């Protein structure tokens, strides 16, 4: 069994700063001055504006994004505007190459064939499919059966918004592993520890020690298939962590947890 290590990186102050997974990229836009950035994707984009207001101009139409909101953006070229000291994250499977270096490019010099490809994007059946859709996170209900996370998706990706005050209860962690997809863990606010355990193979010479990776706001951990993992928020204050997946977590859709799943159907 060949295991890849976790890729843990921090976004740079310069914008845009890009970190990738096997199937997706996360671009961070931030700056000391109010400014607008060009961004393009061949697929829908999930835009996260957790701290501040932002704007998106697409096809000549400007849409305001309120603080603590997630927006689903149609494919295409656009301008993303942020205020002074603002910050937003753009998640997509179809980033149009804009010559910005990817911080963890070396981790993907060789494709991980265990990771299931995105495949054909889901069909958007929303009557206003070509418009920006904004979801204030405080208006997104917790799904029945899961009072801790909020779930949203695009045609090719999905996220879990995890938020709590103070440290996470250490008696209620959730170690698990994935067979054929990566999990991105985007730390937006607070300090965290990613607890990582590699499964044992027959050859004890290949066994790895457990890892406990400290990660603060502004970091993205990409957790490969097969690694057992759970993330613990530590310290006082608010914690916001976004779980990132590409393709869409169909198991969450089937459980009825995905808030906007009704906007999509299989394209097959």
Provide the domain count of the chain.
1
| pTM (whole model) above 0.75 | yes
Residue 179, pLDDT score: 96
Question: 1: pLDDT confidence band, cut at 50, 70 and 90?
Answer: low
The answer as to whether 2 is a domain residue is no
| CATH code for the domain in which residue 73 is found | 2.60.120.10
Host domain of residue 246 = 7-109+119-265
pLDDT tens-digit map of 210-268: 999 999 999 999 999 999 999 999 999 999 999 999 999 999 999 999 999 999 998 76
Number of other residues whose CB lies within 10 A of the CB of residue 265? 11
- Whether the CB-CB separation of 136 and 227 falls below 8 Å is answered with no
At residue 103 the predicted structure's pLDDT band, cuts being 50, 70 and 90, is very high
Q: Give pLDDT, residue 29.
A: 97
pLDDT of 75 above 80: yes
- Residue 141 forms part of a structural domain: yes
Q: Backbone phi, then psi, for 115, in 5-degree steps?
A: -80, 125
Radius of gyration from C-alpha coordinates of the chain: 18
């Amino acid at each position: 069994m060949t295991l890849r290590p976790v890729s843990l990186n921090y976004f740079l102050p310069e914008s845009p700063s890009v970190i990738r997974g096997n199937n997706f990229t996360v671009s961070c836009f931030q700056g000391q001055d109010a400014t607008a950035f060009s961004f393009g994707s061949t697929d829908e984009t999930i835009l996260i504006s957790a701290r501040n207001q932002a704007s998106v101009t697409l096809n000549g139409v400007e849409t305001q994004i309120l603080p603590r909101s997630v927006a689903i953006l149609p494919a295409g070229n656009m301008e993303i505007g942020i205020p002074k000291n603002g910050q937003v994250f753009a998640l997509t499977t179809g980033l149009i190459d804009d010559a910005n270096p990817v911080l963890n490019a070396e981790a993907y010099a060789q494709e991980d064939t265990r990771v299931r490809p995105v495949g054909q994007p889901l069909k958007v059946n929303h009557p206003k499919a070509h418009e920006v859709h904004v979801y204030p996170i405080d208006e997104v209900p917790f799904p029945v059966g899961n009072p801790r996370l909020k779930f949203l998706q695009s045609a090719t990706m999905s996220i879990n918004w995890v938020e709590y005050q103070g440290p996470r209860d250490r008696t209620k962690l959730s170690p698990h592993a994935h067979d054929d997809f990566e999990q991105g863990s985007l730390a937006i606010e607070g300090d965290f520890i990613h607890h990582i355990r590699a499964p044992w193979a027959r050859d004890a010479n290949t066994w790895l020690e457990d890892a406990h990776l400290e990660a603060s706001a502004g970091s993205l951990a990409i957790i490969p298939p097969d690694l057992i993992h759970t993330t613990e928020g530590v310290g006082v204050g608010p914690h916001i962590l976004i779980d990132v997946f590409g393709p869409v977590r169909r198991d969450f859709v089937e459980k009825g947890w995905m808030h906007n799943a009704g906007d999509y159907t299989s394209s097959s």
